Amino acid sequence: MPGRAVAADAAGLAAGWQLSAAQGQNERAIVSTARVRHSKPSPARRGVPGGRRRQSPARPAGRGTFALAAAMAVASVVAVVCTWAGAVQLRAQAPAWAGAWLAKAAGGVAAWPESWGGRPQIVSKAVADRAGGSYRDPLRGVKGLVAERIDDGVDFAGAGPVYALGAAVVTGAAGDNFGWPGGGWITYRLTSGPGAGLMVYVAEDIIPAVVTGQRVSPATVIGTMYDGGDGIETGWAQPSGLSAESELSPAGGIGGLGPFPTRVGLNFDELLQSLGVPAAPNRAQTPHGLLPAGYPASWR
């Protein structure tokens, strides 16, 4: 039976060879799977520089970084342009009082005119009077103003608003004082400037716009002058506010019949001239009466 034994041995060897081959394949599969589950960390994670990675042809190296940088640059340019345009627009629309603040807030983005700093503007030569701006021309708003003569005070023709001479307190305001033609009678006591404490009156064709006790300034309209045929008379009033200062004995006791011009009236005319009011035609004539103590001898 030697042939059968040889055949059996051969079959056994073949079966053994196939089993070894199958085991070998299984062992390779097991080893391959183990490598996937227990792969080592990349060198970069351990702090060791890794090898050069191959870039995909569809995504060149640095393209994303360059695009981001370009976008940021464009955004920066747009922001600067918008900021500059906004600053220019604010400069065009801002009021004068805000110029200096806006210039500081803008940080120099745009140039701001110096005039926005609130530089004063001279609207009348009356601002720069001897008293350093204490008094202003009270007849600056009267249309057709004409200086007529000096008597107890100074007479004028015209129509329009009459202002207070300076800071003052109103001591009387009436439209029916018939001791004067037209019935208007306003008095106020100056509270500032070289004439502080002196009393001023405005009489005749004027409608009062103030009340007794009211505080006024050179910007306050105290009454409206109208063309009633008599014009207005304005000058120094008695401390009591009852009538013109020239009627008192210290001033010569000169009333409505003269002689004119009075020294008190001439003094008030000089004050008005220093503020830009035209001089009365009779101011060069010989004055009458006295100038009481307490009145400035000159307003120039």
Mean pLDDT of 36-50: 39
What is the spatial distance between Cα 181 and Cα 3, in angstroms, rounded to a whole number?
Answer: 169
Give the DSSP H or E segment for 106: helix 99-106
Q: Where are the domains of the chain?
A: 78-117, 126-274
Nearest to 126 by CA among 55, 193, 65: 193
pTM for the predicted model, two decimal places: 0.58
Q: Domain spanning 126-274: which superfamily?
A: Glucose Permease (Domain IIA) (2.70.70.10)
Mean pLDDT of 165-171: 98
pLDDT value of residue 178: 86
- DSSP-assigned beta bridge partners for residue 206: 225
pLDDT value of residue 79: 64
Q: Grade residue 80 by pLDDT with cuts at 50, 70 and 90.
A: low
Percentage of residues of the chain with pLDDT beyond 90: 54
Find the angle CA(251)-CA(205)-CA(162) to the nearest 5 degrees.
Answer: 85
pLDDT tens, position by position, 8-28: 444 444 444 444 444 444 444
Mean pLDDT of 263-281: 97
Q: What is the mean pLDDT of the chain?
A: 73
Burial track 160-171 (b if 16+ CB lie within 10 A, e otherwise): bbbbbbbbbebb
Question: Which of the pair, 118 or 152, is modelled with greater confidence?
Answer: 152
64, pLDDT greater than 60:
no
Contact 196, 228 (CB under 8 A): no
